[in-house]
């Protein structure tokens, strides 16, 4: 029922999708870490609701989402993401590690995906919420990797995406780290 296009065309689109997932998970603090303008690492960690192992595995399948459950839900979408495309698209062009835990679970789930292939699903110790590390973006599609601009240009796109999302969500604290340098530590804004 939903026509969805490619969501990953450069590092800033990965940052956007992952931050939006964290916001949908009701995170109160989101940390973004990038290296080499997102080409070698994009990590987004949140203190949101987390996912069950079943939902975490499903999140890497195309068109699978836990955010809507019926056709009628499409008439009342209250989340930023709902198509079930983001993680599947990201995992198809990168090496992804996801750690997640719900408040009701004693231990979390660790999933490693390499170019859409789930390599590992195990239990792990982690805090409530979700941490996703996207490494070596476009490693398996060299033509797309070569299309990326300079690190300065790609960083500027990430920076603009980050600022837009952080300013439009003042109820969420954000930390942004670039190549081990803290760029922003934005606290929750008081009403």
Q: H or E stretch including 154?
A: helix 151-167
Contact 83, 60 (CB under 8 A): no
Mean pLDDT of each 10-residue bin along the chain, 191 residues long: 60 95 95 98 98 93 58 48 73 96 97 96 98 97 91 98 96 97 89 61
Closest CA to 14 of 124, 165, 117: 165
């Amino acid at each position: 029922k939903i026509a969805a296009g490619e969501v990953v065309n450069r590092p800033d689109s990965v940052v956007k999708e992952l931050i939006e997932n964290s916001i949908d998970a009701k995170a109160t603090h989101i940390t973004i870490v990038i290296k080499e303008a997102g080409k070698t690492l994009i990590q987004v960690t949140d203190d949101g609701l987390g996912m069950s192992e079943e939902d975490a595995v499903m999140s890497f399948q195309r068109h699978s989402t836990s955010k809507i459950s019926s056709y009628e839900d499409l008439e009342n979408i209250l989340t930023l993401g709902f198509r079930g495309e983001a993680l599947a698209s990201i995992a198809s062009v990168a090496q992804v590690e996801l750690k997640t835990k719900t408040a009701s679970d004693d231990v979390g789930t660790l999933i490693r995906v390499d170019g859409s292939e789930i390599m590992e699903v195990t239990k792990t110790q982690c805090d409530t919420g979700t941490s996703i590390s996207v490494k070596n973006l476009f490693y398996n599609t060299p033509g797309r990797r070569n299309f990326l601009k300079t690190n300065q240009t790609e960083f500027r796109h990430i920076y603009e995406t980050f600022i837009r999302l952080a300013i439009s969500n003042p109820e969420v604290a954000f930390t942004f780290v670039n190549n081990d340098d803290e760029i922003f530590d934005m606290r929750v804004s008081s009403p």
